[in-house]
Chains A and B, each alone.
Chain A
Amino acid sequence: MTDEPELDPNSQQAKEIAGKSPMRIALGRLARDKIAVVCALFVLFFIICAVFAGPICSLFGVSLDTPLASERVDGLNSGLPKPAMGPPDGPFTWDHPMGVAPRTGQDNLAYWLHGCRASLMIATTAAIVASLVGVVVGLLSGFLAGTVDKVLSFFIDMFLTVPFLLAALTMAPILNERFNTSDNYGTIQKVSLIVILSLFGWMGTARLIRGEVMSLREREFVQAARVIGMPTSRILFKELLPNLAAPIIISVSLMLPAFVALEAGLAFLGIGVTDGVSWGQMILDAATPLFFREYPQYLWQPMLGVVALVLSLNLLGDAIRDALDPKTRR
């Protein structure tokens, strides 16, 4: 993050548009940005899919249940779906609007919707946790300065040098061994994924906040608060934090698409979510030469899900950053 935006309520520009909070200004700018609106609609679509995955499934009459494979796929035809199940060998059918998976006959729509849910849930939670950690570390580091800052900065740098993928790969089997007998194994797996993502995702936020705090610290209103003897915690949370809304939003908007992509990427490598309800695992299953040749939709469905979500989150994030940046002029 080289271009840390400076959000300063006392700046020249903010005074010009007096009467509006910086957030309202930013929202107004966003609403005028066509790309941002389209992306926001896309993101909204995915959120709706994720939140209402269950009802949408019952609306279409599909479910995550495993059918007997031989009812839906043809074992002598490479395990591809029977023609009655829709593509690739049959016509579209409302019974399975997105077709069924080869080999297992699971319904693609149900898995897609629930994969969307898993993806967004993990990414959102991890982004929130990571920002919390990042904000706390950044605040402490930036405000206390001195030795605390040196130590914390060292840890920020250290975590940045640990290769994330390798760390995740290393921890996955260990976590599994600890918890595989638990009844909540599926949940624990997701929680540990969130922990891993946040453990290696907070550094960017911390750096951003640290820089921001360092410049705010010398401001009059902070100096004033100090002089009147306000306790440090109060200064941090009452005086500084409200001024950090923009960088926090920006860092979350950067993290979300990255985490969506990483969640699917880890599932693609076979760690992360392993219960099959994940876009990454669907991609892994579909990315064989045979299925790609005979049944490309099977790959495109989860692939488009990941790409569209990551892309719209990324572009929306860019737009938010621009909107929040007082330097950009329209």
Chain B
Amino acid sequence: MFAYVVKRLISGVLVVTLVSMAIFLLFWYGPSSPAQPICDRETSNRCTQAKLAVYEKTLGYDNPVYEEYGKFVKGIFIDRTLTIASSEYECTAPCLGVSFRTKQPVKEELISRMPATFSIAIGGAFLYLLFGVPIGVAAARRRGSVADKALVSSFLFISSIPYYLFALLTWLYLTITFEIPLFSDTGYFSPISEGPWKWFSGLLLAWVALGIFGCTQYTRFTRGAMVEALSEDYIRTAKSKGLPARTIVYKHGLRAALVPVVTIFGIDFGTLLAGTIFTERIFEIQGIGWWSLEAVYGKDLPVVMATALFSAVVLITANLLVDIVYSILDPRVRLS
């Protein structure tokens, strides 16, 4: 078990390193000059060759790429001072650079965006389970009934629609057509300074969209896993022992069925935490996904890089945790 975790950790670190190298190289060699966007921005579009050279020099783009990548990695562990043209910026470890647009340390902005994205992710994921699992269990118990068939086919239908169209329609109908006041002001509001109610109503629409869409999938997962679990031999044994149906379904069946559901849930939750670009775009919630889109539009390279790295780290961590949890939940799985 311990050896396995260590092994997974090492491979996780390796993946993060490779991904960060790939992103670094992409920004280094991709644009004709990586300093062009900030030079254009700072000089009101009057970026001459001489000025561009100043920016390239202070940002280190005249050094070899491995040297700058080394500095970047070093900055993760040790404070560094960044120079852009004639201004100096302190960047405390872990240093992810300074935003080209706002000149704020990327790390601090990232942290300030987290509550919005995490709120969406936690609320949405909570709804996945809250509705998905019980409906799935109920459908599995009534397998083959008309209700089950109707539910399965209608949920199959919903989950076949691209998510962003579903979210867009949710937004258009609930706020524009029906003008439900509860949903009128979407966005992230700090529960501390603006009050929990404002926070709740601002995010509710996003949760509803995510929750409905996600719970259709979880219903299908749960139903499938449950059907399989209920056909296992030990359930038959339990039945023949005369255990009450409730105990069989919830204690023996659901426990086994939850294992695959939890696995998928872990990965999905990680994906949500890594940034919900469409959700944040459509409902104008200024979280990490929204921020990374803005950074792409504004050619804010340090921010794009940081968000890509952040997502990779979150996803890798989620994968690792899921595998570990899986081994604990399902005694049949022996990690090696």
Direct contact of A and B (CB under 8 A): yes
Check: B308 CB closer than 8 A to any chain A CB.
Answer: yes
Chain A residues in the interface with B (C-beta under 8 A)? 2, 154, 157-158, 161-163, 165-167, 169-174, 177-178, 257, 261, 264-265, 268-271, 283, 287, 289, 292-293, 299, 303, 306-307, 310-311, 314-315, 318
- Considering only residues 4-51 of chain B, those with a C-beta below 8 Å from chain A are 11, 14-15, 18-19, 23, 26, 30-32
Complex Cα gap A257–B164 (Å) = 14
A167-B160 contact, Cβ under 8 Å, with A161-B316, A174-B26, A293-B176: no
Interface majority SS (helix, strand, loop, mixed), chain B? helix
Judge whether B312 is part of the interface by a CB distance below 8 angstroms: yes
**Cβ of A162 and Cβ of B312 under 8 Å apart?**
yes
As a 0/1 sequence over residues 173 to 194 of chain B, the CB contacts with chain A under 8 angstroms (1 = contact) are 0011100000000000000000
6 contacts between A and B (CB under 8 A): A154-B15, A157-B15, A167-B308, A169-B293, A265-B162, A311-B160
Are A161 and B292 in touch, CB under 8 angstroms? no
Which residue of the partner chain, among A162, A292, A293, A310, contacts B160 with CB atoms under 8 Å? A310
Q: Is the CB of A307 within 8 A of B168?
A: no
B307 within 8 A of A: yes
A-B residue pair count with CB separations less than 8 angstroms: 102
Tell me, in angstroms, the Cα distance from A257 to B32 when the chains sit together. Answer: 35
Q: Are B307 and A166 in contact (CB under 8 A)?
A: yes
Q: Are A170 and B308 in contact (CB under 8 A)?
A: yes
B319 on the A face (CB < 8 A)? yes
Measured between beta carbons, the chain B residues less than 8 angstroms from A271 are: 296
Of the stretches B125-133, B234-242, B246-254, B271-279, the one at the interface is B271-279
- Contact yes or no, A173 B299, CB < 8 A: yes
Determine the chain A residues whose CB is within 8 A of the CB of B275 once the complex forms. 163, 166
Q: Is there a chain A Cβ closer than 8 Å to B157's Cβ?
A: yes
Interface members, chain B 190-223 (any A CB < 8 Å): none
**With A264-B162, A307-B162 given, is the CB distance from A177 to B32 under 8 Å?**
yes
Query: Which residue of chain A has its CB nearest to the CB of B260?
Result: A2
Interchain CA distance A318-B23 in the complex, whole Å = 36
Q: Which of B11, B157, B172, B177 has the most CB of A within 10 A?
A: B172
Nearest A residue (CB) for B278: A265
Residue of B nearest to A165 (CB): B277
| B328 at interface, CB cutoff 8 A | no
Q: Which residues of B contact A293 (CB under 8 A)?
A: 176-177
Find out whether the CB atom of B30 lies under 8 angstroms from the CB atom of A174. yes
* Interchain nearest-CB distance for A258 vs B (Å): 9
- In the bound complex, CA of A187 to CA of B162 (Å): 25
Complex Cα–Cα for A329 and B177 (A): 46
Residues of B within 8 A of A158 (CB): 15, 18-19
Q: Once the chains bind, are B315 and A163 in contact (CB under 8 Å)?
A: yes
Question: Are A315 and B311 within 8 A (Cβ)?
Answer: no
Given A169-B293, A170-B296, do A287 and B164 touch, yes or no (CB 8 Å)?
A: no
Contact A287 B274 (CB under 8 A): no
B121 on the A face (CB < 8 A): no
User: Is B161 among interface residues, defined by CB-CB distance under 8 A?
Assistant: yes
- The answer to whether residues A169 and B292 also contact, given A265-B162, A265-B278, A310-B161 and a CB cut-off of 8 A, is yes
Once the chains bind, are B316 and A257 in contact (CB under 8 Å)?
no
